[in-house]
Amino acid sequence: MHLTPEMLREQRFRVKLSGFDKEEVINFLMGIAEDIEEVMEENRLLKSEIEMLRSKQRDLEDIFLSAKQFSDEKKRVAEQEAHVMLAEARNNAATMIAEAQQKIEEAEQKASEIEEDARKRYRDLLDDAQQTKATLEKEIMEIKVKRMNLFAEIKSVIESYQNWTKEMSNVDPGKR
C-alpha cells in the first residue's frame, strides 16, 4: 500500500470505549503527512536539480562542439590563407615562401592550442558535472533510505499501536 499525505489526513478510526485520543491520533497523522510532503518536495527538488545538471552537461557538450568547429574553421581559414600566401610567394620570391610557411605553422599551433584548451575545459567541466551528479545520486539514495526507514518506523509504530489496541480490547473489563 502506497501511503500519501492525503491518505493520512483523511484516515479515520472507529471509536471504541477505551480507544485512543481521537485528536492525538489525528494530530499524529497530520504530522506524518507533513513529513511525507517534505520528503516528496525534497525528492522533487533533487530531481529538478539533476535535470538542470543534465541540461548543463548538454550545454557543455554543445560548447565543446562549437569550440571544435571554431577551431576547425580557424585551421581551415589559416590553411587557406597560407595557400594564398604560398602562391603569392612563388610569384614574388623564395623569401616570401619562408614567411608563409612560418605563418602556417603559427596558425596550426594556435589552432592546436585552442583545440587543446577547449578539450581541457570540456574534460574539467564534464568531470565537475559527473562529480556533482554522483553527489546528487548519493544524496538521493540517502534520502530514499531515510524515507524507507521512516516508513518502516511508522509501520512499526502503527503495528505496535494496533497490537496494543488488540490487547486492550481483550482485557477483561472487570479487571481494569
More confident residue, 14 or 105: 105
In a domain, 168, yes or no: no
pLDDT in the model for residue 173:
61
* Mean pLDDT of all residues belonging to the chain: 87
Are 115 and 70 a contacting pair, CB within 8 Å? no
What are the pLDDT digits (tens) for 22-48?
Answer: 788 888 888 889 998 999 999 999 999
Domain around 107: 22-148
162 occurs within a structural domain = no
DSSP 107-123: HHHHHHHHHHHHHHHHH
The pTM of the whole model exceeds 0.75: no
- Is 44 exposed, middle or buried, given 0-12, 13-18 or 19+ CB atoms closer than 10 A? exposed
Residue 128 reports pLDDT greater than 80: yes
In a domain, 161, yes or no: no
Residue 172 within a domain: no
Please report whether residue 159 resides in a domain.
no
The verdict on residue 5 lying in a domain is: no
Q: Could you give the number of structural domains in the chain?
A: 1
Residue 155 domain flag: no
Residue 86 lies in a domain: yes
Distance CA 161, CA 138 (A): 34
